[in-house]
Chains A and B, each alone.
Chain A
C-alpha cells in the first residue's frame, strides 16, 4: 500500500532522512518511532506530497507520489501532529468541505459524519466554530474528517496526543477495523506502550536513518519496546 524507496531529504546541508526504505502492506498497522527531530514528520510529510524530497521515490497503491500526486492523494488521509484546521468554519461545515473535496456522495457523507462524530463524542459540538474547539476536539474533528473518506491508507503523526482515554480507545478500534478491511496505517508515536500493543510492525529511526524494522514481536525480542528503543537511541 505504501512503499518508501531510498527516501532522502535534506534541509540545506542537514540530512533529515537518509536512504530510508519501508514497505507497508494492506492490513498492516505500522508504527514509526524515533526521538524528537529523528525525521519521522519529514518522512510522513514526504509520503503525503506536502514536502518534496531529493532522492528515492514513494509509491501509494503502486502510484508514484512524484509522478501523479493527485491520484495518490485520493487514496490516503493524513493528520499532522498539530492539526490546524480552518478556525472560521464550524465543525460540520469543515466536514462537509472535506466531503466535497473527496466527492463523497450525499447519503454516504451524512451517514459517515453521523457515525464517526458519534463515536468520538463530537456530534453536539459540530455547530460550534473550530476556533472555539480545544486541542483534543480539533484532533477528534481531524480524525472524523479522515475516517469519513474511508481511505485505503491512513498516515498519522502523533495521533494520540490530546485525546482523552475514551477517544484513544475509539481510535485504536477504528485503526484495527480499517486494517481488517484491507486498509493500512502508518503512524508515528512516542507512546511506546501503544505501539507495542497496536502495531503489527514497527520501524525505529535515528538521525534520519532506519535503525531497525520488522514485526513488532521480532524487533522487540525478549525485552520491552521501551528498553529496546533506549538501547538503540542511546547506543
Chain B
C-alpha cells in the first residue's frame, strides 16, 4: 500500500516536471530528441554555473586549510535554495492537497499518506542537492590535496542528511505560509509578493556574488569561526567531508535527524486536522449593486485579466519583464546619473546609446509571454467560449489586449526613464520607446500563435502549462532569439550603420512580423481554435 501511494506521488512529481503524456499522440522522435537536448542543456548549464561559482572560492580557501568552509558555504546555499524552492510545493502537497479527503476516506493509515508526501518533498530536495552540492564537491575534489574514498562516502551520507534537514525546514515554512494565507483575503497577492521577494533576494545575492566571494576569501577565518559557533549542522557538514571526520558526520546526523523526526512527529499528530481543515472560506454576503454593462470584447478582456491576476504563478512566470521594467525604472531614477557618467567615459559608446537602450528594453520585453499559455489555460472552460456567440478573433483580441494592458505601461515607463536619464534626442526618444512596444506586440501575437499550434489541455495543475508547456518554452526562446539575432547581426555584420537607423529597421521588422502573425490568427488560427 505504501509503495503504491509513493508510486502515485512520484508519478505526480514526474508529471509536474516533464508533463503528462497522452498515449494516443505519441511524440515524434525529433520532438523527443529536442526535449532531451533542452533538458541536457538546462542541467549542464546549472551544473556549470554552480561549478564556476565555486571555482574562484575553492582554491584560496583550501590553500589556507579552510576546505571545509567551501562545502559549508555550499550546504548553506543549498538549504536556502531548497527551502525557497520547495515551500510552495510543501504548502500544496501537505497542507492544501486536493486529494487529502479522498485518501483519508480509504483504508490507508494517515501516517502512510503523510510519509509519502514528505518523502516526495525529500526526493525533490535531494534533486536540488545534486544540482547544487555535487558540482561544488566536484570542484572541491579537484583542489583538495588528498582525496579519499571516505570523503566521497561521507559526502553522499551528508547530502542525504542535510536534505532531511531542509525538508523539515520546508515543512515548517510551508505550514507558516499556509497559515498566513489562510488568514488573508488576498491570498494571491501574498503569494505574488512572497515569490517576488524570494526572486529578487536571489537576484540580489547572485549580482553581489563576486563581492561576497571576495569577502569570504578575505575574512575566511572569521566567517569560519562564526559558522562553527552559530550553524553547527553546516559546520559539521563541511567537517564531515573535509576531515573526513566520522565524529562530525555523527553530529551532523544528530543535528539533522532529531529535528526532522520531531517535525514529522508533530505533523503526524496533527495530520488529520491539517488535512480536513477548511481554509480560506471567507464568506462575503452578496449585496445587490448596480451592474456595469460592457461590450463583448471588454467583458472578455476583463475575464482574461481576472484569470491572469488570480494565478500568482502566471503573473510571476509570464510577466517577469513588467517587474524588471518597474524595478529598472526606479533603479535608473536613483542610480541613472552614475551609470550615465560611467558609460560616457567610453566615447565610442555615446552614438550607440539609443541602440543599446533599445536592445536592453527589448530583452526585458522578451520575458513577457502572457499569451503563450492562455489558450491551454482555458482547458475545461473552453466549452464556454465555444458555445457563446463570439468569434475566435474576439477571443484572440481579449487575450492579446490583456497581455498588452499588463506589459506595455511598465515598458513605456522604463523607456521614458532611460531616454530622460541619457538625454536622448526627440527622434531617439521615439525609437527607444516605440521599438520595445512593437516587439511586445509581436511577442504577444507570437505567443498566441504558438499556443494554438502547441495547445495542452491534459494538465492537472496550471503550473504544468505555465512553466513547462511547449508553447511557453518556445515563446520564451523565440522572443529572446528575435532580440538576440538582430543584435548579433549588427555586431558582426553591419556595425557601420548608424544605431538610430538600425533601431528603426528593427522596429519595421517587428511591425512586419506582427502583421504576419495577425494574418495567421485571422485565417488559419481561427480555424485551429474552432477545431480545438
Binding site for B on A (CB under 8 A): 45, 48-50, 52, 70-71, 73-74, 78, 80, 84-89, 91-93, 96-97, 99-103, 105-106, 109-110, 113-114, 123-128, 132
Within 8 A of A (CB), among B337-392: 380-381, 383-384, 386-391
Contact of A50 with B383 in the complex, beta carbons under 8 Å? yes
Known: A50-B383, A80-B383. A125 touches B286 (CB 8 A): yes
Cβ-defined partner of B299 (8 Å) among A52, A85, A101? A101
Interface string of B288-309 (1 = CB under 8 A from A): 1011111110111011001100
- A residues in contact with B293, CB < 8 Å: 99-100, 105-106, 109
Residue of B nearest to A110 (CB): B291
Cβ-defined partner of A101 (8 Å) among B281, B284, B388? B388
- A residues in contact with B299, CB < 8 Å: 96-97, 100-101
- B residues in contact with A102, CB < 8 Å: 388-389
Contact of A103 with B296 in the complex, beta carbons under 8 Å? yes
Most buried by A among B280, B303, B390: B303
CA distance A132 to B281 in the complex (A): 7
Residue of A nearest to B390 (CB): A101
B531 part of interface (Cβ distance < 8 Å):
yes
Interface residue count on the B side (C-beta < 8 Å): 36
- B residues in contact with A50, CB < 8 Å: 383, 386-387
B229 part of interface (Cβ distance < 8 Å):
no
Residue of A nearest to B188 (CB): A88
Known: A100-B293, A106-B291. A86 touches B286 (CB 8 A): no
CA distance A67 to B285 in the complex (A): 45
- B residues in contact with A101, CB < 8 Å: 296, 299-300, 388-390
B310 part of interface (Cβ distance < 8 Å):
yes
Contact of A86 with B389 in the complex, beta carbons under 8 Å? no
Contact of B390 with A70 in the complex, beta carbons under 8 Å? yes
- B residues in contact with A106, CB < 8 Å: 291, 293
Contact of B383 with A84 in the complex, beta carbons under 8 Å? yes
Contact of B295 with A100 in the complex, beta carbons under 8 Å? yes
- A residues in contact with B284, CB < 8 Å: 127-128
- A residues in contact with B283, CB < 8 Å: 128
B287 part of interface (Cβ distance < 8 Å):
yes
Known: A86-B307, A89-B306. A96 touches B286 (CB 8 A): no
CA distance A96 to B286 in the complex (A): 14
CA distance A89 to B287 in the complex (A): 16
Cβ-defined partner of B389 (8 Å) among A71, A88, A92, A127? A71
- A residues in contact with B292, CB < 8 Å: 96
Contact of B531 with A52 in the complex, beta carbons under 8 Å? yes
Give min CB distance, B184 to chain A, whole Å.
14
Interface string of B383-413 (1 = CB under 8 A from A): 1101111110000000000000000000000
Known: A70-B389, A97-B299, A123-B286. A85 touches B381 (CB 8 A): yes
- B residues in contact with A114, CB < 8 Å: 288
Give min CB distance, B458 to chain A, whole Å.
14
